[in-house]
Amino acid sequence: MTCLLLVEDDYEVRLVVEQILVDAGFQVEATDEATDSVSGGCDLLDRRAYDLVLTDGKLGDGSGIEIADKALEMRIPALLYTGYASFLEAV
């Protein structure tokens, strides 16, 4: 089964995205209030191998780009998403 890491700092968004992915047949490890940050996402990447990383672009302590970069260095595909169009223009 494909195992995904979901890094999202908005509780309600995390629940919806996680449920959609689980319903689609994926095994999902999602961050929680203690790990929903750049540092928390990177720590989870260090602990386990994932098939794909999904990360919010804007997190409380930085950018999801940092998590995506770390995943790519580990040869794990990463998908970055955000609700902030201006964030994408800055990248």
Cα separation of 38 and 63, whole Å? 7
Mean pLDDT of 10-37: 94
Q: What is the mean pLDDT of the chain?
A: 90
pLDDT score of 73: 96
| Residue 88 confidence (pLDDT) above 70 | no
Higher per-residue pLDDT: 61 or 52: 52
DSSP H helical segments within 1-91, as ranges?
Answer: 11-23, 38-47, 64-73, 85-90
Cα separation of 84 and 24, whole Å? 26
Point out which residues pair with 56 in neighbouring strands.
81
For residue range 27-39, list pLDDT tens digits in order: 999 998 888 899 9
